[in-house]
Structure 1
Amino acid sequence: MRKASDELVAKLLPKAMAGLNLAVLEGASPAEVARDLATAPMFRGRKVVVVRDPEFLQPKKGRADGLSKIKDAWNVGRRRVAANRALALMAKAGFGLEMLLAPDPEALARELDLETEEADAAFLKALGEFCQAEGLTAPEGDTRALEALLEKGLPKDHHLIVEAQQIDSRTALAKKLLKMGVSVEHKVERELRKLDIRAVVADVLKPFKKRLAPEGEQLLKDLCGGNMRLLQSELEKLAVYVGDERPTIEAADVRLLVRRAREEEFREIADAIGARNLKAAIHYVEVALDQEEPALRIHGAIASIVRRLLEDRMRWGALGFGARTTQREFNGRGMEALAEEAKERGTRVPHPFVCWLGFQACMRFEPRELVRALLAVAQADVELKSGGVGRLVLERMLFKVCQRGA
């Protein structure tokens, strides 16, 4: 998406004008975007305003990970951008700085669909303290100024480019943008084994005159997944680290500098548990612990997965579905039930095939097995907080979660 945006900017603006006639906004409010769009450029001619992942266009609920972009920005040192994003996200639910300083997991889950663990709460608190120290406040969320400018029409030769991984197309502002502009969709391969990052790697490293060793490329793909923005920042960091000493970035450099940050990292452990694949689940835990991921955070992710499996198993059972339910029946009656739920919650219905995979996962367990798994999770929580060895506690818990039996 970033590459496509950059190519569009290059077609609209000569390089000589890009320095002064191009504005790139991240974490900006609708009013700030409107002001920048309405302001004349430094040099006569075209002006381009690029807005990256605007929080005011994001859905309030139903995101894969509402904190991922905030964490990405924070982890690469862009703390003010991360803080502005966090404040804007909190403002969607009517929360202010106090929710960052003292996160309420129940309120965040209820209002924003954010499942937060202890590590997330500590991260949000650090964000809040940074906002307090810098005097940052929630950006103005009123979209009327930007809507009015779009309705009136942008000044001559002024162009707006919006980069967004997800938007709430029901809002008045999104409808105006989609009606007046051109929507270009770019899909990233979600299945890791099919994901090809070679072109991105070559483009990012070309200015640095570097190349990435094949083993390093595979490792970086495993760590960053389809998060192209994070992949780009990590490649730039690696190129700077290697410096002028050598032309090739090796796997050892990637292991040293890049932490696991894949957006779908919890989906990986969820898939393993849903398939009752003990070997894959333990492998995930071993890699995460080797990269200094807190054992309690891993435990929290597994706890959420088991709770979700139990909730889904009980819900589908109550609706008369079972392990012998066909995909055709599920796509009919099952998706109708999910559509009703989504309508009540004001969220989008996931793709039917994704829902079908989740249904199959919960149906691999009997309700009593999931209750037993939840008890194992609770016991592991006590052990971890009582000084238990993280690796042993988590592996023992996973054995109980994945095993079959009475």
Structure 2
Amino acid sequence: MPNLTYASWPFRSPGALPPDEAARWWNECYHKSDVARTAAGWSHWRVILGGPGSGKSVLLAALETAELVEGRSFVVRYPPSRWPGASHALVKDGNHLAQIMAAIALRLRDYLGNLPAEVARLTAGQRTVLRWMMDDYLGRRAFERWADGLPDEAARPLQDIPSEKLYTSTTQPLEVVGQIDEAVNLIRRLGFQRVVLSVDVDSREAQSQLSALGELFSWLELMQQPGLAMMAAVPRAAAEEVDLVARARGRVNFARLDWALDQVRAVTERCLQAALNDRSVRLEQLATPDALTALGERLAAEYGEVSPQGWVWLTETLLYCGSRDSAGLPLGADSADRLWRDLCARHFPLELIAGRGVWRGPRFIAIDPQPLRFLDILWRSHEPINIDSPGMESVLGDARNPKNLMHTLARRLRQAIEPDPSRPIYLISDRGEGGYWLDNVVRSGRDGV
């Protein structure tokens, strides 16, 4: 396989690709499983359960795309970042109904802003409802600011719309039902048959949103309106922890994503063939069966199950290594350790969870308090850390030999987070006096930095 070059788009999320590459991804890489066909046949409340890297978010995106293509559903995304108490919740101190109504109002604002002629479809009463939704859930003067930006012809029917407080409670049952009915009727007037909430919960968000996840499904009885549906992707472990199936009381269809190794290999080879634009290429041309078996076992241990994401990223790592030395292909089992480090460095960046530990790709690693404080200082610093660096006094205290203690903490950290502590890829150090620093990490709002 001389002069090995490959396209990167098959190994990225389709949602992160430009439209032309996303279309190719769905056409050449997407595998429509039996679970996907079953879930596509359900029309009301449906939840996809799966482990990390199981493809539940991809399946949700496929269902969402199908709804949009049909054109009968008004799809509103309701991510956990907008749930009650979350950092980007739209309504301060609002419950799930308030956040959902705000999400619908925001989607309506954007939809009608792009298609202002559609405003003429609404009755006078529905224009009043639209103003109430925007002002009540998107903030003071939200409606007027939006209407002022519309073309004159579209803005004219909105003039002199009264600002009324149509509903005052987001908990009283009749008011909850009334608000949902108002939103659904307005959206049906625009030519849609129903509102579909799309909820994608990843494993990391689920850790901090378990209570809100359970509460969302506790609203099912009040939200059982024929014109309102939901499709969601939820980590299996989180669903079990809050007993989601029992909370649903038979009102929700659950689809469980489980993969056999041969199915995952088929998905992986679709991505491989797309990346090389060669329908004949096979994984065994990149790595020997022994190497693939050894690496597959490590992936299963990291993910806790057979994961299509893990195998796809392994394939990208094999291509990356082959692009540097294609003469060495296929790589043998003696390369497994190096390949695993390369895979972790390329696809499993560390993410700090303040006060608890780190995510290494799909796996959460709890860390003891003292090395975790050391890691926190490393995380916050843009310079290598030594014993006299700011904040280190709180970690080292009055240790008789602070340098030895720092090295001990570094060793403990590496034992916890590194795929091979003797060849670190995350906690790096200078053999001289250059100190310690981090590599291959991703910073987010969850790390407190």
- Of Structure 1 and Structure 2, the greater strand share is in 2
Bigger radius of gyration, 1 or 2? Answer: 2
TM-score (norm. length: structure 2): 0.30
- Of Structure 1 and Structure 2, the greater helix share is in 1
